[in-house]
């Protein structure tokens, strides 16, 4: 009788150090929830930015200009610091 039954493979992979509980549970683990939360937050930010650009494009342009001025100022400061460091 045992010869007619299919052989079952042992479930050794569960005890493997390469297999974590999140991988066994799939997307239902903590990591899966964090990925879903991250997607939702990024979607909300994208919708907010799109709404801001559509609702008041002048104000959005001002904010972008201020952002670029800030990055430019920071780069200039780092350049000045490096120049003084070399001297």
* Residue 10 burial class via C-beta count within 10 angstroms: exposed 0-12, middle 13-18, buried 19 and up: exposed
pLDDT of amino acid 74: 97
Q: How far apart are CA 72 and CA 87, in angstroms?
A: 23
Lowest mean pLDDT among 12-21, 41-50, 53-62: 12-21
The pLDDT tens digits for 46-85 are: 999 899 899 999 999 999 999 999 999 999 999 999 999 9
Average pLDDT of span 4-33: 60
pLDDT confidence band for 30 (50 / 70 / 90): confident
């Amino acid at each position: 009788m045992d010869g007619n039954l299919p052989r079952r493979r042992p479930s050794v992979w569960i005890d493997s150090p390469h297999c974590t509980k999140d991988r066994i549970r799939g997307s239902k683990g903590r990591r899966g929830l964090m990925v879903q939360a991250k997607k939702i937050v990024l979607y909300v930010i994208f919708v907010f930015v799109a709404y801001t650009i559509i609702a008041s494009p002048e104000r959005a342009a001002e904010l972008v200009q201020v952002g670029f001025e800030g990055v430019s100022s920071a780069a200039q400061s780092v350049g000045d610091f490096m120049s003084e460091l070399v001297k």
